Structure 1
Amino acid sequence: MVTASAVRRANARDCLLALRDAEQPLTLAELAARTNLSRPTIDAVLTDLGPVAAPAPATASGTAGRPARRVAFDPSAATFAALDLGARRTRCLVTDAAGHPLALTEESADVPLPEVVARTGLSPGAVGIAVPGIMHPDGTVARSIVLPTLQGRDLAAEFAVPALVENDIKLAALAEHHRGEAAGSLVLVQIGHRISVAVVLEGQILQGAHRLAGELGSQRGMRWTATSERGRLTWSTGDEAQPLLEAAARGDTAAQQEIAEFCAQIAPRLATVLLTVDPDRLVIGGGLSRAGETLLHPLREALARLLVTDRAPEVVAARLTADGALVGALNSAYTQFSEHTLGVRDLPAPWSEGITA
């Protein structure tokens, strides 16, 4: 049974989305037409929304009588912050309620997280935190190879405002799902110094019963390649693959062969994931994805040799090679805490296009 309060919440959500997505202030008649709500209902919703739906200057209606009343979404009604934690630095993004960037800063990793946000000079109403580690079901950090000092910490409790904490690769996968072409599901494989996997199904991060879905590195003794050391990838060029990829792009056959062998070694595990989840798309992210077809082409070939089907998912490069975790953290916090900050529950995030990778 649908309750009256549920109907009011749905009406408020519809009105706020219509106002936020409009290019200019709307008259009450225009808002009613976009939401299929009556004028009295619109009036009641606007009262409930308060300052987030701000009156705009009235304009002449073209007929006799008073100018038409107009309202607009007020982006300054709330601010949101996202933190992306790394081994040496913490990046911080702050946006307004429309997803427009207000600050993008970087601090040393030893600066306390609330202080990182405070140094932007802004006071966000909610925070999303992207962590390079495995999350415990209780919200604490279970393990982090990159930042071992995070283990056992309840990062959300360190903030005076509501905060969401999630694995950075899972957040990046969510960002790819929303920012990329339409897909019901995707698998993100982040390839940098290490390889990480995350899955998004029907627009939601696949967590599993213990928040371990995709955490292939948690298998004891698991190695992606014969030369990887404790999960860290190594190459003939050392710890950095970029010189190797550049040589391969120039036509160096030895470099091309090494990349093809790398793809052949990681393909069996990826094929198992693909056949288990059967996603629409396999997205390759991380620093190595910038190599484009130099990496993607041999990976497609390696997977094609393993998958006995003509319905394999497409393999594409990530759109957000550097900012996926930030965008995912920001927009997840936006949706989860929209009732606290904007007065409307489960408001879809704007998935700001203002951040460039």
Structure 2
Amino acid sequence: MFRNSTLPIAVRAALHVRDRGSATVTEIAQTLELSRTSVENAMGTLSDIGLIADAPVTSGRGAGRPARRFSFEGRSGFVVGVDIGVASVRVVIADLAGHVVRHESFNGVALSRDAADKLAVVIDDIRSTLTASAIPTSRVRAVGVSLPGIVDDAGRVTTSVVIPEWSGVDIGAQLSAAFDCPVSVDNGVRLAAVAEHHLGVAQLVDDMVYLSVGNRIAMGLILGGRARRGIHNAAGDIGRLAFPGLVTETGQLTWHSGASGEEVFSRARAGDAAAAEELAGFIDQLARGIATLVLTVDPAMVVIGGGLSAAHEQFLDPLRRALSTHIDLPFAVPLVGARLGAEAASHGALVFAFRRHAAEIYRLDDVPVPPITPLPADNAAVAETH
């Protein structure tokens, strides 16, 4: 990336200090195979827009003044990712280097009265997270939003069976007005796929199917390293068609031997014959639908996310075996559990914002998305439930 000659010199220099750490002009020039004059001019541009600053200088062994070092000013601005759902709202904040500085979880919008009230709850959650992080709203450069539903390229919700009050509402414009910055909005499962591709289990492949199996079944598709939206922004809305008999008209999974999928898995583990039979049938039908998707797209990997992926090998091992019986070809497509779990969509929204609004975030065109560094899962400050 650093030696990519198609990028402007200022961008290449910015990436060097953003992703590798502080450096001198000479070090940057040698790494990028550029002249010192070109790098010095680029560093002047980056200093003018506030992306770099002088780094602390360590004393060298030789005589004379140590060379001037530059560091990336990651805390000069922040990007917010939000995952909106009926059960929870998750807010994640990262600095300009992609380091997550705070991640909080709030109650969802299920109990809010109407469309405006639901939006107000989300705005309050974002503001609360910023306040807890001592970050003023003026330092937010962009916001990415994940929500359940079909969303057009401009951020308007075309339809949502999960939050029907938002159907036809331009959520992106509403949030942009509230925070005075660009806002990008997309489907939550699609953004979960983006996260798994950018910082999860699928970082090394550019063609993948992400299947969320929880209360519903939905798909996110990455082709050629990019999320596939489709001409009508409906790519991935396949639950009712690819998995007939498993879901209702709204895409909701139906269970008979328990109130939820988690309960059916629990009963099957305890030896309940009816639950074990239902689970086996469910896995076989799910595998048949996945086989259809695999033979249509021919991905390098299938990633299983959503609530039921937490059952791990009780779910994934039999699903792999069932899938192999439905694909009679001389190869096997890896089927793996998602790495990011419930945090995938919020981090995908973060990646989406960095990608969509790079010019506004960095005050510089063509800057690639940074490596996103999540907070440690066992860190007490990662998430606070309110």
TM-score exceeds 0.5: yes
Residue in 2 aligned with 1:40? 37
SS of match in other structure, 1:57: coil
Residue in 2 aligned with 1:224? 243
- Quote how far apart the aligned CAs of 1:296 are: 1.2
Cα distance in 2 for residues equivalent to 1:336 and 1:349: 13
The 8 Å contact of residues 208 and 302 in structure 2, kept in 1 or not, is answered as yes
Cα distance in 1 for residues equivalent to 2:33 and 2:107: 47
SS of match in other structure, 1:119: helix
Query: In the alignment, is residue 276 of structure 1 matched against residue 285 of structure 2?
Result: no
| Mapping 1:1-357, distance limit 5 Å | 10-22=8-20, 24-50=21-47, 51-105=50-104, 106-109=106-109, 110=118, 112=120, 113-120=122-129, 121=131, 122=135, 123=137, 124-158=140-174, 159=176, 160-178=180-198, 179-181=200-202, 182-217=204-239, 222=241, 224-226=243-245, 228-230=247-249, 231-250=251-270, 252-344=272-364, 345-354=366-375, 356=377
The 8 Å contact of residues 84 and 131 in structure 1, kept in 2 or not, is answered as yes
Deviations 1:91-119 (A, max 9, x none): 21112112223332325523523333222
- Quote how far apart the aligned CAs of 1:21 are: 1.9
Equivalent AA in structure 1 for residue 98 of structure 2:
G
- Quote how far apart the aligned CAs of 1:254 are: 4.1
Equivalent AA in structure 2 for residue 315 of structure 1:
L
Which runs of 5 or more residues in structure 2 are unaligned?
110-117, 379-386
Cα distance in 2 for residues equivalent to 1:183 and 1:60: 43
Which runs of 5 or more residues in structure 1 are unaligned?
1-5
The 8 Å contact of residues 18 and 97 in structure 2, kept in 1 or not, is answered as yes
- Quote how far apart the aligned CAs of 1:187 are: 0.2
Deviations 1:113-145 (A, max 9, x none): 333322222322100000100113443111111
- Quote how far apart the aligned CAs of 1:347 are: 2.1
Q: How has the CA–CA distance of structure 1 residues 66 and 138 changed in structure 2, closer, same or farther, with 3 Å as cutoff?
A: closer
**How many pairs were matched up?**
348
Cα distance in 2 for residues equivalent to 1:257 and 1:8: 57
SS of match in other structure, 2:342: coil
Cα distance in 2 for residues equivalent to 1:336 and 1:248: 45
Q: How has the CA–CA distance of structure 1 residues 334 and 91 changed in structure 2, closer, same or farther, with 3 Å as cutoff?
A: same
Deviations 1:294-345 (A, max 9, x none): 1112212222111110213111110011011001000110122122121232
Cα distance in 1 for residues equivalent to 2:228 and 2:6: 31
The 8 Å contact of residues 248 and 255 in structure 1, kept in 2 or not, is answered as yes
Equivalent AA in structure 1 for residue 16 of structure 2:
A
TM-score, normalized by length of structure 1?
0.90
- Quote how far apart the aligned CAs of 1:152 are: 0.8
Cα distance in 2 for residues equivalent to 1:285 and 1:260: 19
SS of match in other structure, 2:221: strand
SS of match in other structure, 1:59: coil
TM-score, normalized by length of structure 2?
0.84
SS of match in other structure, 1:312: coil
SS of match in other structure, 1:193: coil
Equivalent AA in structure 2 for residue 67 of structure 1:
P
Cα distance in 2 for residues equivalent to 1:237 and 1:252: 9
- Quote how far apart the aligned CAs of 1:253 are: 4.9
Residue in 1 aligned with 2:113? none
Cα distance in 2 for residues equivalent to 1:60 and 1:83: 44
